[in-house]
Structure 1
Amino acid sequence: MGAQPDEWPWPDAPEPLPAPVVDNHCHLDVGIKGGLRIEVADALDRAAAVGVPRIVQVGCDLEDSRWAVEAAREFDAIVAAVALHPNEAPRLAETGDLDATIAEIDALAADPVVRAVGETGLDYFRTGEEGREAQHHSFRQHIRIAKKHDRALVIHDRDAHADVLAILDDEGVPERTIFHCFSGDAAFAQACVERGAYLSFAGTVTFSNAPELRDALKVTPADRILVETDAPFLTPVPHRGRPNASFLVPFTLRNMAETRGDDLADLCRQVEANTDRAFGGSWPRHQVRGT
């Protein structure tokens, strides 16, 4: 899957983590579709070499979700999440294809390589009021699919905190719920944790203009913290502005440990255990080729 890894603009590798963690939200296929030629096995090698030997590959539309399932079938260190991104919902509603496409996501979610339904949720940044009804409908259906198949629910929430919580409360929060790329303040973090959710922090937590996000991290209980890349987006400092990849997780996690005053190795072990609980159990770690 993919080719010519030398064409990917890899930064230098960070110092390896003292204990392994999972990149619980990655879009390997987006880099490939965007013209960044990447071999998935090479991406796994680079990540495993610095202590990130497992990845959750996340779908944002039907094509992406099918790709995620195929990748998880090919690589034991990858599991899949399948869904329609909230910004897909209004587009599909306009063509009359929303419910039929959700039904195909439902069918994909039954595959044993799928550990989560996501990323779903609400996005009021890119979609105006005219698209909110479709987003709400799609989000509710994805919540029901997650419960039906006993999958984790992975939530995309952008500028929609109150409505995300309202729909979750109305539908009933799935047993395992993850706020991907958590973007709220300390008060919103506490509201999510009160509902039993895990909060996943991305490279944004390292940005100098994100003090409220670091405040949220400080008040999040240790057993509710996850780490992600959202690669190829949200690259952590010091490589902000370049494409992101799973092997850059150590920059984010070191910043998180420093922000919280945690021992890095302890935080790694906690995040690893949290991820296994959130995604319904462990799965194999990638072994770097040639070692």
Structure 2
Amino acid sequence: MTKAVNSRSATAETGHHRDLSWPEPPEALPGAVIDNHAHLDFSDGEGSHGIEEHVAWADRVGVRGIITIGCDLPSARWTAEVMRGEHVAEEHRAFVRERLRGGCSIHPNDAVNHVVTGTGRSGEELCSLDEAIAEISELLDTPGMVTVGETGLDWFRTSKKKPEKRNAQIQSFRMHIALAKEKGLPMQIHDRDAHRDVLDVLDAEGAPERTVFHCFSGDAEFAREALERGAYLSFSGTSTFKNAAYLREALAVTPLNRIMVETDAPFLTPEPYRGRPNSSYLIPHTMRVIAEAKGVSLEEACAGVLATERDVYGFAGAEG
């Protein structure tokens, strides 16, 4: 059984205790897709479920591949270990190896800790940002690592009004852009309440050839601006939320060959299970919203999304 290195809080941001029961599996998709952004380094929900189970649950509903993202040094190291076959029982390694890939980075909010405070979330001493990204670079050379990220800007948890913290995030973002170009890898962007500043950095630095807005959170106008810069837009369970009509409008103006799907599991669980534990097997809920927004059949939506994900990451997942 794989031991996760992080855990999602049992308390929601509103302060109430979350329902930790696992949602019922949805009807399987008519075609395969890949969850291009999840965090299998996090545990959540009732029971102790390892990587093998999450991958198997996903497989049963047509999610044939998962990209797990580690975005601080402990999580990045763990992700590289999993790519090397560690933490997975021997009898499951071939199954997991076929369906799982990884990516890593220093998250924007963690970059602030490396630069400004020098201490991590648990009070541990941190190395410099330069040293951290040098290690990320080494970890990205592990076979099975297919993306740099998530990196970008977050003005929700780290106020951009504090110059030292703002500049730390921008510096880290620039370093990850350079790293993606050096490695020839796609880059996943974290953009929270920072649309214009993210575009400004991309314009100044020049975006990597393959740039993905993970958990896209903008409206149709911002979608057009990102698309003009050659970006791909990845939609999560937030697109199913009742108050997220703007995301469905963004979907409507995005060509199918620039759309990806993700969970950001264990976070951002789709309706009707919002707030409960999330896993890649719940992607069919988001795929149905994508198909509806694009005015195409679910089968056509799956085929288009899968082709895009395979092209960007060079990751086929399991056939079928």
TM over 0.5: yes
Amino acid at match of 1:117: V
Query: By how many angstroms is 1:55 displaced?
Result: 0.2
Separation of aligned partners in 2, 1:89 and 1:233: 21
Q: State the Cα RMSD in Å.
A: 1.7
Flag the 1:284–1:210 CA change in 2: closer, same or farther, 3 A. closer
1:149 corresponds to: 183
TM superposition outliers: structure 1 runs of 4+ over 4 Å? none
Residue 85 (structure 1) aligned to one of 103, 107, 112 = 107
Partner of 1:275: 309
Aligned 8 A contact 1:152 1:177 in 2: yes
Q: Distance in 2 between matches of 1:184 and 1:28?
A: 26
- Matched with 1:250 is 284
CA distance in 2, matches of 1:284, 1:228: 14
Q: Which runs of 5+ in 2 are unaligned?
A: 4-19, 86-95, 119-126
Displacement after TM superposition at 1:37 (Å): 2.1
Count of aligned pairs between the two proteins: 281
Structure 1 counterpart of 2:173: 139
- C-alpha deviation, 1:58, in angstroms: 0.5
**Which segment is superposed worse, 200-209 or 258-267?**
258-267
Whether the aligned pair in 2 keeps the contact of 1:54 and 1:286 (CA below 8 Å) is no
Q: Tell me if the contact between 1:48 and 1:286 (Cα under 8 Å) persists in the aligned partners.
A: no
Residue among 60, 64, 71 paired with 1:49: 60
Query: In the alignment, what sits opposite 2:224?
Result: 190
Shift of 1:12: 1.2
Q: Distance in 1 between matches of 2:199 and 2:106?
A: 19
Q: Give 1:36 deviation, angstroms.
A: 6.0
The residue correspondences of 1:256-267 to structure 2 (distance < 5 A) are 256-267=290-301
CA gap of 1:70–1:285, structure 2 versus 1, over 3 A, is farther
Whether contact under 8 Å (1:56, 1:80) holds in the other structure is yes
Deviations 1:170-212 (A, max 9, x none): 1111111100000001011011111111100000000010111
- Residues 204 and 229 of structure 1: is their aligned pair in 2 closer, same or farther, counting only changes over 3 Å? same
The equivalent residue for 2:24 is 12
Structure 2 partner of 1:98: 129
Counterpart residue identity of residue 64, structure 1: S
Q: Which residue of 1 aligns with 2:214?
A: 180
Cα distance in 2 for residues equivalent to 1:216 and 1:26: 22
What is residue 222 of structure 1 aligned with on the other side? Answer: 256
Does the 8 Å CA contact 2:23/2:277 hold for their aligned counterparts?
no
